[in-house]
Amino acid sequence: MDYQQFDSLFHPRSIAMVGASPDPANSFMLNIMLKHGFSGKIYPVNSSGSEVLGLKAYASIKEIPDTVDYAFLQVPAKAIIQVIRDCAAKKVKLATVFTAGFGESEIQGRGELERELADAARQGGVRFLGPNCMGLYCPAVHLTFASEFPQESGPVGVLCQSGGNSMQLVRAAAWRGIRFSKLVSYGNAADINESDLMEYFAKDPKTRLIIAYIEGVKEGRRFSDVLRATARVKPVIVLKGGRNEGGAVAALSHTGSLAGSVMVWDSLLKQANVMQVHSIDECVDVALALLFMRPPSSRKTMIVGLGGGATVLAADDCYDAGLVLPPLPEETKQALRKVTREAGKIFKNPVDLSDMFSFPSEVAHSVKVVGSWTGADLLIIHFGLEVGPYVIGLKRVAPLAEAIMGAVREVGKPTALVVHAAYGDDASQAFLKVQRMCVEAGVPIYPSFQRAVSAIGKVISYYQNQ
């Protein structure tokens, strides 16, 4: 299948929800899709033919008096072959087999059933995602499989073998400002697999960055070729599930995947210049640095923050991540001295503004002074909400964050903001406020210095190897 054909699969104009019944357990997906406002028609299908959430239902997909582009199948595993045949008869182009209990299951005969499903689909000309997956999130047509996914499209394409990880990833990324071209949750990959999807995203002009969560591959050689080719044209981030003995056992039972050797994966990803991450949080961290920061032209970093001890640890983290802190020249120190007095602060690189939380304009001015110094190509600003004599809560945080955002805009250099994670009620509210402000300003925000520099270090290595 070529790019155009896949792309049309992923933009359906009508959906059949097979298995959506008045039972809430079987209609939650329809409910989510309705609330998200899918732009086409939705037709519930269930054996009783009873109405679901106010929509007329059909006893079979074949009875729907309209073309059906996409079918979401939530039916018992044993019924799946017949339903796929119905889809074929109805000329459905793409199905998502949500149902679990196939090749990943220990139940006798379920691996065979998955192969029969694939055969039936192939014979009937139906492409499908799964089984054991959530299917498609495509904001362009307002198609979703989970609540609170963004309505707007963005530059990130995702292939994700896990439904839960898809949801965690989209939401965590969305709250930090990332939007998606589309996400495909593809489960056991009995038909459409990781190579197909990687190829699709490589060609998709709406996708600038590809994220993949993969437990195992179906076509090893092809995937290796596709991944190398893709990484030559677009940045790719891979989170490999089942990296070791423990995860591999789980992956086999989760998506029926053979996890493969960690050494083979590590060397493939390294050779292909693919950014490997080890958690969903890290995945988002790296994506943020790719999307919201122009490529820094070197590892030379300027740190400015509030809190002496935090500053010492920040500098340690910087070097651990392979970033360097060139010494601040005397004229910049002099310029800082004009903004604020030096006692109790650090006027080097890093710069520590100590406890100036209540002096936003001095903080902003200092950020501008050190940010405009040409000796560093990357600026990292940090502060904590629970680090001063008084906790900074929702009310106090806005002036400080606003002043910093203003300075960042003026400096115009690749910049990240670290707001040290807060554990208290007030400070957590303040953190979310700053997060929202960062999203609006297009500034990447990180909850720890270590996470920021680890992600940025990876991204700089990516650019340097490209």
User: Please, which of residues 28-57 interact with a copy of itself by CB under 8 A?
Assistant: 28-29, 32
CB 424 to a copy of itself: min, Å: 5
- Give the residue among 410, 69, 152, 459 at the shortest CA–CA distance from 277: 459
423 binds a copy of itself (CB under 8 A): yes
Stretch that binds a copy of itself, among 89-97, 167-175, 203-211, 403-411 (CB under 8 A): 167-175
- The tokens describing 134, both together, are 């959530």
- Give the residue among 189, 190, 187, 62 at the shortest CA–CA distance from 116: 190
User: Please, which of residues 272-291 interact with a copy of itself by CB under 8 A?
Assistant: 278-281
* Cα–Cα distance measured from residue 357 to residue 101, given in angstroms and rounded to the nearest whole number: 55
CB nearer to a copy of itself: give 374 or 423. Answer: 423
CB 360 to a copy of itself: min, Å: 16
- Give the residue among 141, 143, 102, 138 at the shortest CA–CA distance from 120: 102
Q: Which of 164, 329, 412, 442 binds a copy of itself (CB under 8 A)?
A: 164
Q: Which of 21, 46, 132, 207 binds a copy of itself (CB under 8 A)?
A: 132
**Three-state SS sequence of 108-163:** CCHHHHHHHHHHHHHHHCCEEECCCCCEEEEHHHCECCCCCCCCCEEEEEEEECCH
Cis peptide before 131 (omega within 30 of 0): yes
Q: Which of 388, 394, 399, 402 binds a copy of itself (CB under 8 A)?
A: 388
DSSP string computed for 222-277: HHHHHHHHHHHHS-EEEEES--SHHHHHHHHHHH------HHHHHHHHHHTT-EEE
User: Please, which of residues 241-270 interact with a copy of itself by CB under 8 A?
Assistant: 241-247, 249-251, 253-255
CB nearer to a copy of itself: give 101 or 375. Answer: 101
CB 428 to a copy of itself: min, Å: 6
- The tokens describing 10, both together, are 């992923």
Residues 289-308, one symbol each (x = binds a copy of itself by CB under 8 A, - = not), give: -----------------xxx
CB 86 to a copy of itself: min, Å: 22
Stretch that binds a copy of itself, among 82-90, 199-207, 265-273, 418-426 (CB under 8 A): 418-426
Q: Are strands 135-137 and 180-185 parallel, antiparallel or unpaired?
A: antiparallel
Residue with tokens 């087999």: 97
CB nearer to a copy of itself: give 190 or 202. Answer: 190
397 binds a copy of itself (CB under 8 A): no
Q: Where are the alpha helices (DSSP H) in 272-324?
A: 280-291, 308-320
CB nearer to a copy of itself: give 192 or 427. Answer: 427
SS3 374: coil
Q: What residues contact residue 228 under an 8 Å CB cut-off, 6+ apart?
A: 271, 272
* Cα–Cα distance measured from residue 269 to residue 247, given in angstroms and rounded to the nearest whole number: 18
CB nearer to a copy of itself: give 64 or 378. Answer: 378
Q: What is the largest CA-CA distance in the chain?
A: 80
CB nearer to a copy of itself: give 21 or 105. Answer: 105
Q: Which of 60, 153, 428, 461 binds a copy of itself (CB under 8 A)?
A: 428
Cis peptide before 24 (omega within 30 of 0): no
394 binds a copy of itself (CB under 8 A): no
CB nearer to a copy of itself: give 202 or 387. Answer: 387
CB nearer to a copy of itself: give 46 or 166. Answer: 166
Angle between helices 330-339 and 360-371 (to 10 degrees): 170
CB 388 to a copy of itself: min, Å: 7
* Cα–Cα distance measured from residue 163 to residue 133, given in angstroms and rounded to the nearest whole number: 6
CB nearer to a copy of itself: give 157 or 384. Answer: 384
Amino acid at 139: P
User: Please, which of residues 315-374 interact with a copy of itself by CB under 8 A?
Assistant: 315-320, 324-325, 327, 342-344, 346-350, 352, 354-355
User: Please, which of residues 205-234 interact with a copy of itself by CB under 8 A?
Assistant: 213, 215
User: Please, which of residues 174-193 interact with a copy of itself by CB under 8 A?
Assistant: 175-176
Q: By the 8 A CB rule, do 69 and 94 touch?
A: yes
CB nearer to a copy of itself: give 34 or 313. Answer: 313
Residues 134-153, one symbol each (x = binds a copy of itself by CB under 8 A, - = not), give: -----------xxxx-----
Q: Binding-site residue total for a copy of itself (CB under 8 A)?
A: 97
CB 2 to a copy of itself: min, Å: 30
